[in-house]
Amino acid sequence: MSPKLTEKGFRVEIHSMARGPVVLENVSSLSVLLADGGWLGILPGHAPLVAATEDGILSYTSGTEQKTLEVSGGILSIADNVVSILTTR
């Protein structure tokens, strides 16, 4: 088991030049809008990936709660159960 994977999920880091970082812990699922208009669903253990994202709503599940967060378009990367999204706004 990867050291970054917990019993409940993975970590999401959203980095923006306009505001401080947002860190979400123990995320068990995440959906994000990609630049091509499709949606990407992410679960723990997802394969490494780099993709362009579009402005929109990121929805995720943490524990038993489903939550949403507005994010600007940018670059998403997945590695070792950490999802990083880099945006300019």
Structural domains of the chain ordered from first start: 10-87 (2.60.15.10)
Amino acid letter, residue 71 = V
Is a pLDDT exceeding 50 seen at residue 1? no
Residue 6 has pLDDT above 80, yes or no: no
The Cβ of residue 12 has, within 10 Å, a number of other Cβ atoms equal to: 24
Give the residue among 56, 46, 45 at the shortest CA–CA distance from 87: 56
Chain segment 15-48, per-residue pLDDT in tens: 998 888 999 999 999 999 999 999 999 999 999 9
On average, the pLDDT of the chain sits at: 91
Across 62-69, average pLDDT:
94
- Rounded distance, CA 73 to CA 64, Å? 27
d(CA 17, CA 14): 10
pLDDT of residue 8: 67
- Enter the pTM of the model: 0.87
The whole-angstrom separation of Cα 62 and Cα 42 is 13
